[in-house]
Amino acid sequence: MPPVRIQADQGTGPRQRRRVDARRNHDSVLGAASEMFAARGWKATIPQIAARAGVGKATVYRSYPTKAALFAAVAQRELAWFEQRAGEAAQAPDPGQALFDLVRDLLVRLSRQRTLGHLLRTEPVVGAKDSAERIVAGLGRTFQRAQQAGAVRPEVTVADLQALIGGSARQLAAYGAEDREQWQRLATLICRAIAP
C-alpha cells in the first residue's frame, strides 16, 4: 500500500487516520521483524516481533499469517535495498568511488542483517534468486566501469570481489562481530586490496 498523502484542505478524518496508523504499524512490524530475525534468526517468534513493534499479535497476523510470510517480506525489503543501491552505483559519475562506496555500504548493511543470507539459503523466498542476480549484475557493471577507469587492478575479477565481500561477511558473522566500525574497516581493507 503506498504512503497516504493528506492535503491540508482535506482534513484528517477517521478513514485517513486509520490508513496512516495502518502504514505506521506495517512499517513498525517490518522494522521489528528485521531486527529480530537479525538477532535471533529463525528462532524469532511472532509474539516477540509484535512486542518489539509495540503492536498486538493480531496486527501482525492480519498482514502475515505465518512467520515464513513475514520473513519473506523482510527479505524482499532487504533485497530491494541491495538491488537499488547496486543500480545507483552502476550509474554514478565516479566509478572508482562508486565501487568503494558500494562495498562499504554492502558490508555495513550486512552487519545489521547477519542472519539474512543464512535464512535465505534455508527458507526460500519467491523472487530472491532474481533479485540476487540483479544485485550481482549491478555490482558487476560498477566493477567493470571502475576497472576501466583504472581504479581497480587489471588482474582482479568481479568474482574475486564477490568472494572477498561474501567471505568477509560470513567470517565476521561467525565471530559475532557487532561493531559497525569492524565491518567498515574490513570494507576499507578490501578496497585497498583491489586498488592499483
Residue 8's pLDDT band (boundaries 50, 70, 90)? very low
Same domain, yes or no, for 87 and 37?
no
Domain that holds residue 84: 67-196
Same domain, yes or no, for 37 and 71?
no
Q: With beta carbons less than 8 A apart as the criterion, state whether 22 and 1 touch.
A: yes
54 pLDDT more than 50:
yes
The domain boundary residue, chosen from 35, 65, 95: 65
Q: Which three cell numbers stand for residue 25?
A: 504499524
Same domain, yes or no, for 168 and 71?
yes
The domain boundary residue, chosen from 65, 86, 108: 65
Same domain, yes or no, for 9 and 82?
no
7 pLDDT more than 50:
no
Residue 135's pLDDT band (boundaries 50, 70, 90)? confident
Same domain, yes or no, for 40 and 84?
no
Same domain, yes or no, for 60 and 115?
no
The domain boundary residue, chosen from 21, 44, 65: 65
Same domain, yes or no, for 26 and 53?
yes
Same domain, yes or no, for 91 and 137?
yes
Euclidean distance between CA atoms 43 and 41, whole angstroms:
5
Q: What is the pLDDT of residue 6?
A: 33
Q: What is the CATH number of the domain that holds 166?
A: 1.10.357.10
Q: What is the pLDDT of residue 17?
A: 65
Q: What is the pLDDT of residue 178?
A: 73
Residue 156's pLDDT band (boundaries 50, 70, 90)? very high
Record the pTM: 0.74
3 class by beta-carbon count within 10 Å (0-12 exposed, 13-18 middle, 19+ buried): exposed
Q: With beta carbons less than 8 A apart as the criterion, state whether 118 and 166 touch.
A: no
Same domain, yes or no, for 94 and 142?
yes
